[in-house]
Structure 1
Amino acid sequence: MSVAGIFLAHKIDEHTLCVGLDYVIPAYRDFKNGRYIYLRLKKQFIGQGINKIVAAGDSHKYIKYLEKLGFHKNQDGMYEKMIA
């Protein structure tokens, strides 16, 4: 067994989770990990009071990844996804 990726995030307020690191090694970049985190864990996030996830779009590839997972650029330049 090996580690395919790392996901780190923290609450920036009562209802918002900010992604600090969302990394997957190249061999596993097929969006399965992203779909698992942002879609399959949705109920757990909502259960903890989270209704929005935000991430900084630091690179063109990461922005494309975020957009494919349903994130949209907000007025502050961050990418956000409403989950509730």
Structure 2
Amino acid sequence: MKYGKNFLERIAVARARIKMFAFASQSVSGEDIATIFLNTIVSMQEFACKHPAPFIAKIYRDGRLDMWKDHKMLMEELEQ
């Protein structure tokens, strides 16, 4: 499931003011996803401390984190 692609999902993230991380790569086993999340937890914590809620960030297979929808973008969608 591609979280955050649906407008209503993004509105829910904005209203709840959460910091959301979504796995962006496909064709990866559940076990591999768990390992990637465990290996990136410190980076995720640092990322979350640097960026205000709400946001949606993507985690890639290589452990890279990228902002997909930042606070400003989500709040603008909420106002629409």
Q: Tell me if both proteins adopt one fold, taking TM over 0.5 as the criterion.
A: no
Structure showing greater relative contact order (alpha-carbon pairs closer than 8 Å, 6 or more residues apart): 2
Judging by fraction of residues, say which structure has more helix.
2
TM-score norm. by structure 1 comes to: 0.29
The TM-score, its normalising length taken from structure 2, stands at 0.30
> Could you say which structure has the higher strand fraction?
1
